[in-house]
Amino acid sequence: MQDDCRWTQCRCNLHRIICYHTTNAAHAILREGFRDATGGYLISAIELTGVWLGDSPMTVNEGATGEEVLQIAFPDDVDLSDYEIVEEQKPYREWCVPAELINTHAVVTLMSIEELDELNDRLFRERLMRQKDRRPGR
């Protein structure tokens, strides 16, 4: 399933699109749902409204704040392509998605430290393999 998924860098699993959101408000989000935020992007040249999601858990290096990571699982019939923020040479994918879309279509769960460590280890190995495959002479 992974190889033929239209979201090749997103974590796809049995007809689901899996994304991640890093926060300090995981329990409030799980209770009340996501809320849209509006802010500048690319040195405030563009103003976006929504919830930032990534194909991997984001850290402060990618602009995220917080210690908790929520896993957001969308059914495969949800199209996120209109919300993707595309930047050249970025090693991850990210989207600014309306909160209503997440709240009405996604299953949101708080990842445990063990799940997060396992995921980060797997993502690190995958990125190393992609870099190795891109080297000249391969």
pTM for the structure as a whole: 0.79
Nearest to 54 by CA among 87, 103, 5, 32: 87
Q: What is the pLDDT of residue 120?
A: 87
| β-pair partners for 16 | 75
pLDDT tens over the chain, length 138 residues: 333 333 333 444 445 789 999 999 999 999 999 999 998 776 557 889 999 999 999 888 787 889 999 999 999 899 999 999 888 878 888 999 999 999 999 999 999 999 999 998 898 888 788 777 766 665
Please, which residues have CB within 8 angstroms of residue 15's CB and are 6 or more apart in sequence? 75, 76
Contact in structure between 53 and 19 (CB atoms under 8 Å): yes
Q: How many CB atoms lie within 10 A of CB 72?
A: 22
| β-pair partners for 56 | none
Q: How far is CA 95 from the centre of its chain?
A: 7
